Amino acid sequence: MSKPIIYELPLNERIRTVLRLEFLFKQAHYSLRGVSVWDSRNTISSLLEILNILSRIDLRNEISKELQRQKKAIEALAAIPVIDTKILKDTIAALNNSLYDINVATNNCYSEAPNDFLKSIVQRESIPGGSCDFDIPLYHYWLNRPEQERITTLETWLNNFSHYQNSIELILYNLRQSATFTQLIAKEGFFQKSLNSKSPFQLIRVSFPSDSNYFAELSGGKHRFSIRMMLPDFDNRPVPYLEDTEFSLACCVL
């Protein structure tokens, strides 16, 4: 059986932001491992996108609220007789540690580029090709420094946001683990489900084998969501896949 591909639909703005940051941190750390100039450029671009998000929202406050909300929800599970108390205690301890790190890391909570060098790149990034060699000679010079020097510098800059990254990974891990996948059928390639508005559903996950000849389009909000199977077309608009389709669904609530 091929490895599954999972499509996710965030149901509120906080989780939407957290998922975008998870993506950017993964992208930054992946390209960080590379030794070429283009790898360093990609890491810088991801870092600047992270800073862009930080400049628009009070991320520390949003993450702190979500960690506290999850802690309260998980503590309530202690009343369930069959709950694994060790896992429960370990999860609460991890949430407490992340809350501490987020709330005390005031010196590292940047909302803009932390130095003039990165600010000079930010100013040019909005222009197509604006970070070209002739536009920012200092950037061109830095990119031609020894590879280990560049990697060390990038690690230092990314580490300034490690408390964000660690908290985001914990929030999403807990949320994704809150629901198990159930196998269902989308009649004629379409599935719709209403959600209990009294339960804080935050994330919808849909799983298919990665060798499927269709993909999923998810849409919806906190009251209901829908899944439409689509046939890929990379030259024209995708068209609906109208066959009955098996898929796995997890509605994550914590």
In a shared domain, residues 189 and 146: no
Establish if 1 belongs to a structural domain: no
188-202: average pLDDT: 92
For the chain, the average pLDDT equals 91
Long-range contacts of 41-47 (CB under 8 A, 24+ apart): 41/131, 41/143, 43/154, 43/158, 44/118, 44/121, 44/154, 45/125, 47/118, 47/154, 47/157, 47/158
The yes-or-no verdict on residue 84 having pLDDT over 90 is no
**CATH number of the domain to which 28 belongs:** 1.10.3900.10
In a shared domain, residues 185 and 164: no
The band of 231, judged by pLDDT with boundaries at 50, 70 and 90, is very high
In a shared domain, residues 96 and 221: no
Establish if 6 belongs to a structural domain: no
Q: Determine the pLDDT at residue 7.
A: 97
Establish if 247 belongs to a structural domain: yes
In a shared domain, residues 19 and 123: yes
Establish if 28 belongs to a structural domain: yes
pLDDT tens digits for range 114-163: 688 888 888 888 888 878 888 899 999 999 999 999 999 999 999 989 99
Q: Of 118, 151, 174, which residue sits at a domain end?
A: 174
The yes-or-no verdict on residue 185 having pLDDT over 60 is yes
The tokens for 193 are: 């489900």
Q: Of 174, 193, 228, which residue sits at a domain end?
A: 174
Establish if 156 belongs to a structural domain: yes
Q: Of 145, 174, 203, which residue sits at a domain end?
A: 174
In a shared domain, residues 106 and 207: no
Q: Which residues pair with 231 in a beta bridge?
A: 239
The tokens for 204 are: 């919808």
In a shared domain, residues 98 and 150: yes
213-239: average pLDDT: 94
- Looking at the chain, the whole-number percentage of residues with pLDDT higher than 70 is 95
Residue 97's alpha-carbon distances to 34, 161, 243, 246, in angstroms, are 31, 16, 48, 40
| Structural domain boundaries enclosing 230 | 180-253
**CATH number of the domain to which 222 belongs:** 2.60.440.10
15-42: average pLDDT: 96
Q: Which element (helix H / strand E) includes 209?
A: strand 201-209
Establish if 241 belongs to a structural domain: yes
Q: Which strand ranges, in their side-by-side order, compose the sheet holding 182-186?
A: 4-10, 201-209, 245-253, 182-186
Q: Determine the pLDDT at residue 2.
A: 67
In a shared domain, residues 166 and 116: yes
Look-up of token digits 């990379």: 234
Q: Determine the pLDDT at residue 94.
A: 94
pTM: 0.90
- Pairing verdict, β 239-240 and 182-186: unpaired
230-243: average pLDDT: 94
The yes-or-no verdict on residue 44 having pLDDT over 80 is yes
pLDDT tens digits for range 93-118: 999 999 998 887 655 556 666 688 88
The yes-or-no verdict on residue 175 having pLDDT over 90 is yes
